[in-house]
Amino acid sequence: MDSQLKVEGVTKRFGGVVALKNVALQAKKGEILGIIGPNGAGKTTLFNVINGLYRPDSGEIYFEGNRIDRMRPHDIANLGIGRTFQIPRVFRDMSVLENMRTATVSQSKEGEEEADAKAVRLLEIARLEQFHNRLASELSGGQAKLLEFVRCLMLNPELVLLDEPFAGVNPAVRQELEEIVSKLNRDEMKTFLIISHDIPSVMGLCTRIAVLYSEIIADGAPEDIRQNPRVIEAYLGH
């Protein structure tokens, strides 16, 4: 099977700092790919390049055969790539349901009822349906992460980029997030790229793990990564 996402020789600099150095990475449809590495290793920068917030200085990125490294973020989203952030980007002064609606603001009025029904279904999956009329500012940090996650599903992305979804959440929310990812991957063949410092979650959830330290220093099955001497030295051994 051809790769759904291809990152080919991507380099990104900020002044004299090389955040990404000749990064090559591929993901097949239906994979759950973990991206791990120490702080400052370029993980979030990689996501920002994939979803169009940054343009790479060199290299190319393809999604389902389309070159996307010169496209705008909303065009990339419309192609089928969803994204969450380390700190959830929710509209705090809007209700939970209104937050969900913002993902489909370009829909015609004829589609509003259908969109609302979809929003309610997704909120039920995240166990947030009882909060749909509450302001997003009233949610806990973990609930805000869940809201941002299911909001990005409103456009039915084929590939979802999750940036530190398990950081700062309690075990119950972490389990909910893991269950949602597993279900969407199993039932709908959605592909996930997950940045996380939560090694137990990554090892248990991901089918493959890539280790980024400005460049990819290892890529393989979770057990192979756990035993890789270079990974242990650069990251896991600390």
Q: What is the mean pLDDT of residues 126-143?
A: 92
d(CA 37, CA 141): 24
Q: Side by side, which strands form the sheet with 17-28? A: 17-28, 3-14, 58-63, 66-67
The pLDDT value given to residue 106: 54
Could you tell me what percent of the chain has a pLDDT over 90? 76
The pLDDT value given to residue 86: 85
Q: What is the mean pLDDT of residues 108-126?
A: 82
d(CA 133, CA 27): 38
Tokens of 7: 């990152």
Q: What is the mean pLDDT of residues 164-173?
A: 89
d(CA 171, CA 151): 21
More confident residue, 36 or 111: 36
d(CA 211, CA 225): 8
d(CA 104, CA 227): 44
The pLDDT value given to residue 97: 93
The pLDDT value given to residue 108: 45
- Checking if the pLDDT of 88 tops 50, the result is yes
The pLDDT value given to residue 105: 64
Mean pLDDT computed over every residue of the chain: 91
Domain locations in the chain as residue ranges: 3-236
Nearest CA to 26 among 159, 185, 128, 178?
A: 159
Tokens of 154: 């409103």
The number of residues in the chain equals: 238
Question: Could you read off the pLDDT of 171-224 as tens digits, one per residue?
Answer: 988 999 999 999 999 999 999 999 999 988 999 999 999 999 999 999 999 999
d(CA 181, CA 157): 13
Pair 34, 43: CB distance under 8 Å: no
Classify the C-alpha dihedral 231-176-184-20 as positive or negative: negative
Amino acid identity at 62: Y
* Per-residue CA distances from 95 to 89, 99, 108, 125, 144 (Å): 14, 6, 21, 18, 12
The pLDDT value given to residue 237: 57
Query: Which CATH number does 3-236 carry?
Result: 3.40.50.300
Which H/E stretch holds residue 141? Answer: helix 141-152
Pair 136, 101: CB distance under 8 Å: no
Question: Could you read off the pLDDT of 40-65 as tens digits, one per residue?
Answer: 899 999 999 999 999 999 999 999 99
The pLDDT value given to residue 110: 45
Nearest CA to 85 among 24, 183, 164?
A: 164
